[in-house]
Amino acid sequence: MSVYTFADVHVRLPSLSPFAMHFFQEYRADSDHFDEELTITQEDLAAEAILAPLAPREVLEITVVLRKFANRLLMRYDGFMLHAATVVYGGKAYAFAAPSGTGKTTHCRLWLDVLGDDARILNGDKLLLRKQGDRFFAYGNPWNGKEGYGERGCYPLGGVFLLHRATENTVSPTTSSEALAALLSASAVSKSGADRLQILALLDCLIQHVGVRNVYANMTHDAVYTVLRELEDSL
């Protein structure tokens, strides 16, 4: 058993396959102190296999850990996982949420093209967020998607964008209902009433205090400039 640190929570995990140990390696904790302990049962793996029937056991281990940790984050640490690609710019994290295949990671790569070393990709696929007061903090984590874009780090969340593919680049406001529906879907929270009440409370705070906007983007550099202008206008 080893301890890992995800989103500033020290988690003890059971013995893992070599593949999974390697996957989590960068997030090994410095000490054996832990805040949470997760188990991985055959039932967990079987339930995960229903969602990904072709995935080998070692990959299922990784996704079971994510699912269970995300649930602990929600129920005990005012946090949640968001299916979003996230860039860091000017010391803040900006998350781009969208269904798979929309081009989240492609859009974030454009930020690197346009801004060079002034921007980084914190995570290309799954963002971990925690609320402290009215602020949210974005955490790098090992679940960073098939392209492997991401790094360790924690940054204040500067904004959330709902990404849509379009021919013209524009940013527009969302209604709270629109933002809530999109983020609820992107958070992949379980169907339990307790989980859903908790995520609604967190999303309410995020929508009010961080802000959620639509960005319609055509995957050119101009898409990045469009978002940057929006960020400058809102400062």
Partner 1 sequence: MKIKDGFVMRRFGDKWIAVATDELADSHNVLITLNRTAAAMWELLSDESDYNTVLAGLLTRFDAEETQVREDLDRTLEMLRKAGVLDEQH
Q: How far is the CB of 196 from partner 1 (least distance, A)?
A: 5
Name the amino acid, one letter, at 121: I
Query: Least distance from C-beta 127 to partner 1, angstroms?
Result: 21
Round to whole Å and give the CA distance between 154 and 123: 11
In whole angstroms, how close is the CB of 43 to partner 1 at the nearest point?
18
CB of 180 vs partner 1, minimal distance in Å: 6
**Strand duo 36-37 + 9-13: pairing:** parallel
Q: Identify the DSSP state of 151.
A: -
Pair type for strands 154-165 and 212-217: parallel
Pick the closer one to partner 1 by CB: 20 or 182: 182
CB of 200 to partner 1, least distance (A): 4
In order of 12, 87, 135, 227, 234, the CA distances from 91 in angstroms are: 30, 10, 14, 16, 16
Q: Of the candidates 71, 201, 188, which has an alpha carbon nearest to the alpha carbon of residue 136?
A: 201
Task: Rank residues 39 and 175 by Cβ distance to partner 1 and give the closer one.
Answer: 175
Which residue, 101 or 193, has its beta carbon nearer to partner 1? 193
Residues 6+ apart with CB under 8 A from 129: 7, 79, 80, 81, 82, 136, 137, 138, 139, 157, 206
Whether 173 contacts 213, CB under 8 Å: yes
Q: State in angstroms the smallest separation of the CB of 209 from partner 1.
A: 13
* CB nearer partner 1, residue 107 or residue 131: 131
Rule CB under 8 A: which residues touch partner 1? 176-177, 180-181, 184-185, 191-193, 196-197, 200-201, 204, 207
- Give me the helices (H) in the chain, please: 18-24, 42-51, 57-76, 104-115, 176-187, 193-209, 221-233
- Please name the residues in contact with 158: beta carbons below 8 A apart, sequence gap of 6 or more: 89, 90, 92, 93, 94, 210, 231
**Closer residue to partner 1, CB minimum distance, 51 or 201:** 201
Residue placing its CB nearer to partner 1 in the complex, 112 or 184: 184
